[in-house]
Amino acid sequence: MSATDPRRVLVLNGPNLGRLGSREPDVYGSVSYAGLVERCTALGVELGLAVEVRETNDEGEMIRWLHEAADGRLPVILNPGAFTHYSYGMRDAAAQRTAPLIEVHISNPHARESFRHTSVVGAVASGTIAGFGPDSYLLALRALAEAPHRDGERPGPPAED
């Protein structure tokens, strides 16, 4: 990819995120899913990133998308939704990453019900951004654009302790 070609980034969303705008607006805000997609793609253009936003309620489909990202060395912004707390299959797929993976959440899971306090994905992500509403995604896009690996040198999975 040349310096003028945008770098492809997948923004992957788990269960119920397609219902943004109507789903618990007191928790998730009033921005619709279409509005979120528009914000992400517009900022991507500004940052030189080709942003592709996807949403699924299907765990298997999410795992396939994470495999696609690993095989293509694509950076990922991942809002696993409810999969965050229990999907070890998704966690294992995320662990195979070959480029940065940023976990995002619209709300702050630690300020909510106790079952939301644990993320099985967090330990294999490059980082986590949570609690800034839809701006969590925009902060993650900026982090990807400004990271030292932006010129195509992408780190592999984190080292095991």
Q: Which residues are catalytic?
A: 28, 105
User: Which residues carry a binding-site annotation for substrate?
Assistant: 79, 85, 92, 106-107, 116
pLDDT of residue 90: 92
Distance of CA 96 to the CA centre of its chain: 15
User: Which residues carry a binding-site annotation?
Assistant: 79, 85, 92, 106-107, 116
What is the set of domains in the chain, with CATH numbers?
Answer: 7-151 (3.40.50.9100)
Residue where the block lists tokens 């800034």: 132
pLDDT digits (tens, 9 = 90+) for 125-157: 999 999 999 999 999 999 999 875 543 443 334
Averaged over 19-31, what is the pLDDT? 61
pLDDT of residue 55: 95
Distance of alpha carbon 111 from alpha carbon 142, whole angstroms:
25
Which tops the pLDDT comparison, 119 or 116?
119
E-assigned strand segments in 25-133: 49-55, 76-79, 101-105, 127-130
Q: What is the pTM of this model?
A: 0.80
In this predicted structure, the answer to whether residue 45 has a pLDDT above a threshold of 80 is: yes
pLDDT digits (tens, 9 = 90+) for 61-111: 999 999 999 999 999 999 998 888 778 999 999 999 999 999 999 887 765
pLDDT of residue 6: 67
pLDDT of residue 116: 61
pLDDT of residue 150: 40
- The angle subtended at Cα 58 by Cα 110 and Cα 31, nearest 5°, is 55
